[in-house]
Amino acid sequence: MEGAGEVAEHTLAERMTSLREEIKALKEERYSLIERVRSLRRERRRLVEEAREVRAQIRELRERRRKLVEEIRSLRQERRRLFERLSSVIEEIDTHRKIAAELRPLARRSISAIRRRIEELEWRQQTHVLTPEEEKEIIDEIARLEALLEKTAMARQAIESLSEKKAELMGLKLQIRSYGEEIRKRSREIEAIDERIEGLKSRLSELTPRIENLAREISEASSRIDELRDKINEKVGMLRELWEHMKSIELNRERERLKRIYEEKRRRVEEKLRRGEPLTLEELKILYSSQLEELEEGAYGEGEATSSGG
């Protein structure tokens, strides 16, 4: 019986050792997974933050692009207005050129000379006694010269207007060219923004699945951590049961030892009684007490002795 008990106890000890090793391995795996989850979460937070920054950059670029489109629309509208004015000025230049071509010979006359001649005739009319025929000739000449003066002034005004219109035409062309350059400049900026947005969108398309994969890995690792915790608790429970079983075996073995001691003492007391020898109080107690009472007292006595010794 003792051999079988020792075998069972040895088997229990081996099983407990095996469980402890399994628990240790499970805990190590769990701790390793916990550290991995922390690392994965750090990486995921970093990628989520990067994705947030990328989205913010895309929003800013789109807002900048929208403003540039509005500016281009405004510039094109102003350029159309300038083209309309340019067309009108070209027509006006054509008209002024025709008028100037007709009146150019008159424009070469001296306005001051014509005015002096008119003043001379008026002075002669006022200071000389003239016959009716002479006065009529002077009046007709003054009228002719005044008409010539008016046409000469008109010719010079037409030439000046033509020069002004040509200058305006040149200014309009410069403005139109400037507006064209501004439109092209903004168009190039829009193209650069579009390329930048596409690059950011490409980066975002890379980040999104990586973030999702990390979230899935975290979820799987967390589930495994929970599974390991349950297994550890289960095996700890099994180890506790085996420990309690082992303690029970030890207790039963101790009871058997006490029982053998009691039986040996009782045998010696009975032999002493048969020989007619006087018995001590302790021997009487052993003789007349039940086995269970003796075992309990013996265990209690040994327990107190152990406590006192400790």
**What pLDDT digit, counting tens, does each position of 60-100 carry?**
999 999 999 999 999 999 999 999 999 998 888 888 777 76
pLDDT tops 60 at residue 300: no
35 within some domain: yes
Provide the 8-state DSSP code for 24: H
Q: Does a structural domain hold residue 49? A: yes
Range of the domain at 40: 26-218
Residue 267 lies in a domain: no
pTM above 0.85, yes or no: no
pLDDT of residue 267: 87
- Alpha carbon of residue 122 to chain centroid: 93
Question: 294 lies in a domain?
Answer: no
Give CA separation, 196 vs 72, 111, 193, 208, in Å.
Answer: 20, 68, 5, 18
Task: Please state, for a pLDDT cut of 90, what percent of the chain lies above it.
Answer: 46
Is residue 192 assigned to a domain?
yes
* CB-count exposure of residue 162 (10 Å: 0-12, 13-18, 19+): buried
- In this predicted structure, what is the pLDDT of residue 258? 85
* CATH classification at residue 214: 1.10.287
CA atoms within 13 A on the CB side of 95: 8
Give the mean pLDDT of the chain.
83
Instruction: Return the pLDDT at 129.
Output: 67
Candidates 223, 226, 221, 225; CA nearest to 44 is 221
Q: Distances from the Cα of 210 to the Cαs of 41, 44, 51, 197, 266, in angstroms?
A: 12, 8, 11, 20, 82
Structurally, the chain folds into a number of domains equal to 1
pLDDT at residue 64 in the model: 96
| Residues 156-180: tens digit of each pLDDT | 777 777 788 889 889 999 999 999 9
Question: pLDDT band at 303, cuts 50/70/90?
Answer: very low
Is residue 11 assigned to a domain? no
Whether 262 maps to a domain, the answer reads no
